[in-house]
A and B are shown apart, each in its own frame.
Chain A
Amino acid sequence: MNMKLITHSEMETISAGREFSLSIRCGTVVALSGDLGTGKTRFIKGICEGLGVAEHVASPTFTIVNEYQGSNLKIFHFDFYRINSAAELREIGFEEYVEGGGVCLVEWADRVKEILPAQRFDMTFSLGKDENERIITINEVKPE
């Protein structure tokens, strides 16, 4: 999968996430990058809705990781905003989460790219021309 989306409202960003959730399987890692306020948390909200999460999905900046239960899958929502190195992530057990069979959704993933598994989805978020416009790119990365 390799695509570019343009959304025009928060609702559209959430719907795009819901639609993207169809590509998610057990063990999928999604790495989201982009500046503050570009829609990463909204998109994840959509993914979680699509996966049947009933709990409320909020930014895990403070706790680094939130856990949600979907209808079939466990979802780990990470935020690397306050993380500076792979060593810090190893300390909180990031690799165990990735190998544990859940779905890992990682905000600010570009801060510590080296810890991400070779197979994943890379997404970028940026502001568009109009006030509520967001440009989202999705790129499926596969091991060589």
Chain B
Amino acid sequence: MIILGIESSCDETSAAVLADGKLKSNIISSQLIHQQYGGIVPELASRAHQRLIVPVVEQALTVAQIKKEQLNAVAVTHGPGLMGALLVGMSFAKALAYGLKIPLIGINHMEAHMYSNFIDDPKPTFPFLCLIVSGGHTQLVYVRKPLHHELLGETLDDAAGEAYDKVGKMLGLGFPGGPVIDKLAKEGNPNFVKFPRSYLDPGKYDFSFSGIKTSVLYWLRDHGYRNNENIKPIPKQELADLCASFQAAVVDVLVKKTIQAARDLGVLDIAVAGGVSANSELRTRLKSVSDENGFKLFIPAFEYCTDNGAMIAQLGAMKLEHGYQSDFSLNAISNLNISTSPTR
């Protein structure tokens, strides 16, 4: 069974080939064009997808040494994401599957992140808990059995990655803020400022990160660095200390809520997914706390943390195996939710 996975929901155009459960290629064209704009620009994003989709798919097939006629199915992200960006990948996938007369499989991008832990060995065993942390999402999901999910909680305001990006912007660090904050934090003191941790209701698994963001803003204002858009540069060590203190607050909340949920559910395995799972502090802390508490932690390899075609092909293969495929009326849905049971 040979499956092509296509992903174009946000800023990455990506395609991957999965043959009999083995990943043969995973081409991700990071759109560096965004860095000069301080954010993902939707119009630029969909234009770039249009320009990149054909070469990216061609390269995925070439690297895998697969001819398109050998493909058995095409899996494609149909949400959530930016409408214009989603439509590029979807239209391409529909045309390809239709032309080759092979099944089309619509994939939920957030679900694919959860199954990115199944690309390489070792794989989590069902049921497991999954923490998804990215620029657009922060969710805790109980994965009961393959393709059966229960959303336990999510962010009530900003996603963790969004807080990183916004704080990065406040600190004058550019976009994306996450990797820069993570790097600077290594040189800083996490106890420099005690930013608030909002755990909300202990019985619930929701998150809130806008309070941490606001506290950073207050701190900058009170120390004369920022007042309603008048900005003064921050000295290097202080900047590193601020990054470390902010990161400690975000990671504390993510780790504590995740471990709490895993205990309450009685699962043995915890999986992490999404762009923020590339964050070194989050990885280190989750690993040590999981070890202390007897949980097995699964974090995908770095190239499967950010948006990628491999996870789309992976979930496509699982859906096909369980008998699920889409028809050609498949729609792009910008706010698609995680499904409780398999969908077409």
Interface set of A (CB-CB < 8 Å, partner B):
35-37, 41, 56, 58-59, 61-67, 81-85, 87-88, 91-93, 126-127, 131
Complex CA–CA separation, A85 to B81 (angstroms):
20
Residue of B nearest to A45 (CB): B157
Q: A36-B213, A37-B214, A67-B335 are in contact. Are A59 and B43 (CB under 8 A)?
A: no
B40 at the binding interface (Cβ < 8 Å):
yes
Report Cα–Cα, A116/B24, bound state, in Å.
48
Chain B residues within an 8 Å CB radius of A81: 39
- Taking A36-B170, A91-B84 as contacts, is the C-beta distance between A62 and B39 under 8 angstroms? no
Is chain A's interface secondary structure helix, strand, loop, or mixed overall?
A: loop
Residue tally, chain B, CB below 8 Å to A: 39
Contacts A35-B228, A67-B335 given; does A83 touch B41 at CB 8 Å? yes
- From known contacts A63-B136, A64-B82, infer whether A82 and B41 are also in contact, taking CB-CB under 8 Å: yes
Which residue from A61, A65, A85 sits with its C-beta under 8 Å from B334? A65
Q: Given A37-B214, A63-B81, A92-B42: A58 and B170 within 8 A (CB)?
A: no
Docked complex: B209-224 residues within 8 A CB-CB of A = 210, 213-214, 216-218, 221
**Which residues on B sit within 8 Å (CB–CB) of A59?**
157-159, 162, 210
24 contacts between A and B (CB under 8 A): A35-B228, A36-B169, A41-B157, A58-B156, A58-B157, A58-B158, A59-B157, A59-B159, A61-B162, A61-B166, A62-B135, A62-B136, A62-B137, A63-B80, A67-B335, A84-B41, A88-B41, A88-B44, A91-B43, A91-B84, A92-B42, A92-B83, A126-B228, A131-B218
Whether B46 is near chain A, meaning CB under 8 Å from some CB there, is: yes
Q: Which residues of A contact B157 (CB under 8 A)?
A: 41, 58-59
By a CB distance below 8 angstroms, the chain A residues around B214 are 37
Residue in chain B with minimal CB distance to A39: B214
The reply to whether B210 and A63 form a contact with Cβ atoms under 8 Å apart is: no
A63 touches B82 (CB 8 A): yes
User: How distant is the Cα of A126 from the Cα of B227 in the complex, in angstroms?
Assistant: 9
Contact with A along B242-268 (1 / 0, CB 8 A): 000000000000000000000000000
Q: Smallest CB–CB gap between A114 and chain B, Å?
A: 15
Q: How far is the CB of B276 from chain A (nearest CB, A)?
A: 13
Shortest Cβ gap from A89 to chain B (Å)? 8
Q: Are B84 and A92 in contact (CB under 8 A)?
A: yes
Residues of chain B within 8 A of A82, CB atoms compared:
39-42
User: A47 to chain B: closest CB distance in Å?
Assistant: 15
- A83: chain B residues at CB < 8 Å are 41-42
Chain B residues with Cβ below 8 Å from A35 are 217, 228-229
Question: Could you tell me the distance in whole angstroms from the C-beta of A86 to the nearest C-beta in chain B?
Answer: 10
Q: Is the CB of B210 within 8 A of A37?
A: yes
Q: Kindly report which residue of chain B lies nearest to residue A56, judged by CB atoms.
A: B156
Q: A91-B42, A131-B218 are in contact. Are A36 and B228 (CB under 8 A)?
A: no
**What chain B residues lie within 8 Å of A37 (beta carbons)?**
210, 213-214, 216-218
Given the complex, which residues of A lie within 8 Å of B334, measured CB to CB?
Answer: 63, 65
Question: Which residues of A are found within 8 Å of B217, using beta-carbon distances?
Answer: 35-37, 127
Known pairs A37-B218, A62-B137; list 6 more (Cβ under 8 Å): A61-B158, A63-B335, A82-B41, A83-B41, A91-B43, A127-B228
Is B43 a contact of A87 with CB atoms below 8 Å?
yes
- Enumerate chain B residues within 8 angstroms of A93, measured Cβ to Cβ: 83
**CB <8 Å contact, A127 and B221:** yes
A112 to chain B, nearest CB (A): 12
> In the complex, what residues of A have CB within 8 A of residue B335's CB?
63, 66-67
Say how far B196's CB is from chain A's closest CB, in angstroms: 12
The answer to whether residues A64 and B156 also contact, given A59-B210, A127-B228, A131-B218 and a CB cut-off of 8 A, is: no
B155 is an interface residue with CB less than 8 A from chain A: yes
